[in-house]
Each structure stands twice: as C-alpha cells, then as structure tokens.
Structure 1
Amino acid sequence: MSLVRSAAALAVHAYTASGAVIAWLALQSAWDHDPRTALLWLCFACFVDATDGFAARAVDVRRHAAWIDGARLDDIVDFLTYVFVPMAVLWDQGQLAGSLGLAAVAAVLIASGLGFSNLQAKTQDYFFTGWPSYWNLIAVYAVAWRWSATATSLLLMVLAALVFVPIKYVYPSRTVTLMRPTLIFGFLWAAQVVLIVWWLPAPPAWLMWSSVAYPAYYFALSLWLNVNSRRTKE
C-alpha cells in the first residue's frame, strides 16, 4: 500500500511537471507565429495548475513523496507558463517592441523572478502578496484587443512594480472569504477566456467586454479584504 501511495504521489508531481512540456509547446507555437495555439496551450497549463493542488492534497504528496519539493516545482513551472512564454507571445505579436518593449520584458522577468522567490509571496491566510504575475492573462487581452506596443509595455511595467507593493490578492482556490462564488465566477470566466482565444484573431466584442467582469470582481474583492484587514488591526 505504501508503494502505491508513493507512486500516486510521484504521478501527481509528474502531472505538475508536465506544465513545463506544455510551456515548450506554447513557445514553439509562438515561434511559428501562431498566438492562438500558443495561448490555447497556456490555457491548458492553467487547467493543470488549477487542479494539481487538489490532487496533491488528495494523495498527501508531502508524506508519500517528501523528497520532492512540490511548491518549488510548481513555481518553476508557473514561471514558464505565467511569465516567460507570455512575454514571448507578446513580443512575437508586436505588442512589445524596441527598447521600451525590452525594458518591459526585463521588468516582468526580474520582478516575477524576485516575486516567485519571495518567502512571503503567499500568506498563511491564503493570499498572494503583491501582483500575482498573471502575465498570461495580460497576453490574452493584449493580443485579442490588439493593444499598441507602447500601451502594453507601460502596463507591464506598472504591474511589475506592483509585484513589490504589499497588497494582498485573493488566492481563488484557497482564500476562504467568498470562496464558492469566487470559484463559480472564476470557472465561468475561464470558459470565456478559452472562447476568446479560440475565436482569435477576432473574438466578438460582447465576449471581450463581458469577460472583464471577473477581473473587476477579483480586484474589488481583494481591495475590500485589504481594507477590512487594516480596519480589524486598528
């Protein structure tokens, strides 16, 4: 039985590590100037990232595969799928270019590298500290809306700076407050994002605008919880 449990734990770690393979496939699509396929691969990577934690807890990987640091593995894969490959997609599509674009890429890679290495990036009450490096989602909206290279570069640099601002952001699958509506709303939004990518290069306007509702909810909830937390401390 112990051997079976160890095998199950290793299988979950392999499932997490498969995100690196998905990142390679997405990068290859970016090289081929195929943003739709690249972003679809990144959507699949998000699915793996959203489900591997539940699987890890179900088979108790910390007990049955203790010699593998699942959190470190997850961060390595996430850096590829949430940070590195999205920058390649944006550069290939002309949403980043020239010295300003290079500065934006450098800001994102350095800030996210430091952010992923921050021991306080995830709080004990299940929040992210600082902008959680959702660069893959920025890539989806930038490509779908065809933002200019200047606008995209400036937005990336602002968000890169927010990595270091100690604002707490909701961790959708772990933050207790309003978890159920957050997950339901998030699931519907994820379906919208997949449809946006599927219908590239011209997703319908109604889909694009309605999809903004969840990010607005996410930021509003995060802000509200930050304000309430400060009031409680006072």
Structure 2
Amino acid sequence: MTPADQHDTLSASRTVRAAAFSVHIFTAMGAGIALIALLEAVREHWAAMFAWLGTALVIDALDGPLARRLDVVRMQPDWSGEVLDLVVDFVTYVFVPAYAITASGLLLPLAAPLLGAGIVVTGALYFADRRMKTPDNHFRGFPALWNAVAFYLFLLRLSPALSSLIVALLIVLTFVPFNVIHPVRVERLRGLTLSLIGLWAVLAIITLIYDFNVATPVAVALCVIAVYVVASDAVIRLLKSAAA
C-alpha cells in the first residue's frame, strides 16, 4: 500500500469514526431538549413541554437504527451508547414528567411531593434493572413511561384524588411482572401496533395544538390505544390459557 493509499484509508477511518460519534451527540441532544422542556414546565407552558418531550421521543426512536447502521459499538468502543441512552431516557421519560405531574396541581397537594419522589426513585431503579426487557422484547412491569402518564393526566383532568391513586398504582406496577409491548421491537401484531402508534402520534399532535381542548372522540381514541399497549399482551395470554 502506497503512502497515499494509507493516508486515504486513515482519513476514511476517521470520517467513519466521526460519523459514529455523531450518533452519540444526537442521542445526547435529548438531554438538552429535556432541559428546554423543563423550562417550559416551570413556566406552566404544558403543551410546549410535551412538544419538546415528543421531539426527544423522536430522537430516541431514531438513534438506535442509526447506531446499528454506522456500527457505533465497534467504531466508538470507549463510549457506551447504552448508558447514554438510559441517562437521556431517565430525564425525558421520568424526571421532567415527574416535575410536571407534581407541580401542575393534578394531584392531591399533600400527596404530590411524595408521589413525585416515588416516580423518580422507582424510575431510576427500573432503568437499572437488567430484567426490564423480556426475551421477546416486552417490557417487564410498568415501563416508567411517565411522559405518557403525564400526557393522559393533562388530557383527562381527573379529580386530584383519582389521579393520585393512579400514580400510586403505577408506581407499584413498576415492579409487578406483567408484560407491556414494545411498540417497535415486539414482532407479534407489529403491523397493527405500528399503525396504532402512528394514529396516536397524529392525535397527540392535534391535542397539543389545541392545548388539550379536544373533542371526546379524540380523547377516547387516545385512551383506547393506551389500553391496547398496556393490556394486549395480558389479554392474548389469557385467551391462549383459556383455549388450552
């Protein structure tokens, strides 16, 4: 190999490594977006907060495929994309939503600080649990999707007592071994699941545009999709057991 060829090879290698590292930067941008979402929450601009959290959700959906395509694990072995992803997921899925749930007046005043602390403590433990995913890519227990919980609490505007009860129940369900489908990675009914998630995204955007003042059919559709995600695996297993 000539010196020129060696130079070209080294330059190409650096370019590939730089592209791989850019995926880590892309993932880390989610943390910056979480800060912006928190600032909106402090101002009680709730729809804007959810819009930023939705942006972070898009990043979370794209960074994995990008990392696999660019072989980030091999090209950047000194940087853990898995740890980075968990750090960003914690602030976007747990910490910022916990603040919104606690500070928005949706919960009983005396219970709100305790429940908020319960959300972040159990969320941290959940992300540290190596058993959080089943072999068939389901989540084990309530998967700390507190951004979604916050969204539905703002949408439904239940009584503070009922909202507090729901949050307390979900905190407990974090450690109950039932399965919740991963919208992308679970193969069973993937086409139906992805279609419903796409519909959910459209309805969620409409909801934020109208600052949660949407017609009843929109709210009902959003709730039905949530029930499907949470309960479909349990229903399928129950039907299989009954048929056996």
1:98 partner SS: coil
Q: Which residue of 1 aligns with 2:75?
A: 64
Residue 171 of structure 1 is matched in structure 2 by: 182
Paired residues, what number?
232
Q: Which amino acid aligns with 1:150?
A: A
**Contact in 1 for aligned 2:37/2:52 (Cα 8 Å):** yes
Kept after mapping to 2: 8 A contact 1:43/1:194: no
Asked whether 1:189 is paired with 2:200, we answer yes
Aligned to 2:5: none
Counterpart selection for 1:34 from 39, 42, 45: 45
Code of the residue aligned with 1:29 in structure 2: it is: E
1:91 is matched with: 102
Q: Aligned residue for 2:137?
A: 126
User: Once the 2 structures are TM-superposed, how far is the Cα of residue 227 of structure 1 from its aligned partner?
Assistant: 4.4
Classify the secondary structure of the residue corresponding to 1:184: helix
Return the match for 1:138 from 130, 149, 152: 149
1:157 has 2:168 as partner: yes
Distance 2:118 2:64 in 1: 29
- For residues 93-136 of structure 1, the C-alpha deviation after alignment (integer angstroms, 9 at most, x for no partner) is 21134221122112211111111000111223211111111111
1:211 aligns with 2:211: no
- Say if 1:227 and 1:3 are closer, same or farther in 2 by CA, change over 3 A: farther
Structural mapping, 1:40-79, within 5 Å: 40-79=51-90
Is the counterpart of residue 15 in structure 1 residue 26 in structure 2? yes
Q: Which piece of structure 1 moves more, 52-61 or 90-99?
A: 90-99
| RMSD of aligned residue pairs (Cα, Å) | 1.9
Q: Secondary structure at the match of 2:183?
A: coil
Query: % of aligned pairs identical?
Result: 31
Deviations 1:58-78 (A, max 9, x none): 112111112111111111111
What residue ranges of structure 2 are gaps of 5+ in the alignment? 1-11
- For structure 1, which runs of at least 5 residues remain unmatched after alignment? none
User: Are the aligned partners of 2:28 and 2:84 in contact in 1 as well (CA < 8 Å)?
Assistant: yes
Q: CA deviation at 1:201?
A: 4.2
Q: CA deviation at 1:22?
A: 0.8
Whether the 8 Å CA contact 1:127–1:170 is kept in 2: the answer is yes
* Structure having the higher Rg: 2
C-alpha offsets along residues 159-213 of structure 1, whole Å, 9 cap, x if unaligned?
1111101112111111111212211221111111121122114122221112222
Q: TM-score, normalised to structure 1's length?
A: 0.92
CA distance in 1 between partners of 2:69 and 2:239 (Å): 33
Within the candidate set 185, 191, 198, 2:209 is matched to 198
